[in-house]
């Protein structure tokens, strides 16, 4: 199986520290210079390259086929941070760098989804205590990602609501997420204990 080290530069992330471990594998690190991206950055635009100047990065090792995948790990990080303290932190690009020099360099991904904060509620700085809380949320969210029950529905709906462009969509997603968290499972409940609002939508829109 191929081994990768994943780098995701954080934008609008203001923290005075240099290193923090979310888990033994997922870390926040401040690099004094750009890490070795094996040339995957060369096709970025000038403004995108500027965003790779020394800053904090989320970084972790990943083996192909492992779950959660890199995209999910980055999203879970952002969600955990958002729950601990809403900030304007974003990730716009992710690099998956092969650790074997004899393999292809890896892959670069542009990330188009953004967390949408409410004006007046997002804070400018993150403190150590916020990261400790976020690490706890991250571990729990990762457990939910690996589970196959209604709480996973709540997690996915919450994430969808956070990145929705319109408040009406966010409202529906967060309402459905709340129902997924509060609904009590029953032996006959299916599929995968979808919350009532989601089941109603599926029934009304069988092709969706």
For the stretch 148-193, pLDDT in tens is 677 888 888 888 888 888 888 888 888 888 888 777 655 454 444 4
Is pTM beyond 0.95 here?
Answer: no
**Under 8 Å between Cβ of 174 and 157:** yes
| Residue 49: both structure tokens together | 């390259």
**What is the b/e burial string over 107-124, where b = at least 16 CB atoms within 10 angstroms of the residue's CB?**
ebbeeebebeeeeeebee
Q: pLDDT tens for residues 3-62? A: 999 999 999 999 999 999 998 889 999 998 889 999 999 888 888 888 787 689 999 999
């Amino acid at each position: 199986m191929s081994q990768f080290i994943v780098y995701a530069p954080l934008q609008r992330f203001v923290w005075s520290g240099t290193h923090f471990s979310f888990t033994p594998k997922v870390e926040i690190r401040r690099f004094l210079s750009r890490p070795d991206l094996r040339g995957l950055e060369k096709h970025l635009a000038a403004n995108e390259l500027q965003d790779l100047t020394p800053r904090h990065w989320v970084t972790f090792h990943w083996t192909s086929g492992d779950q959660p995948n890199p995209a999910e790990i980055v999203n879970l990080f952002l969600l955990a941070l958002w729950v601990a303290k809403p900030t304007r932190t974003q990730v716009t690009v992710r690099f998956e760098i092969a650790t074997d020099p004899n393999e292809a360099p890896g892959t670069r991904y542009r990330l188009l989804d953004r967390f949408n904060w409410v004006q007046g509620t997002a804070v400018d700085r993150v403190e150590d205590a916020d990261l400790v809380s976020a690490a706890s949320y991250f571990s729990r969210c990762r457990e939910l990602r690996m589970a196959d029950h209604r709480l996973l529905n709540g997690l996915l709906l919450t994430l969808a609501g956070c990145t929705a462009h319109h408040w009406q969509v966010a409202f529906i997603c967060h309402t459905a997420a709340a129902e997924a968290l509060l609904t009590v499972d029953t032996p006959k409940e299916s599929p995968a204990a979808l919350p009532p609002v989601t089941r109603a939508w599926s029934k009304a829109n069988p092709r969706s």
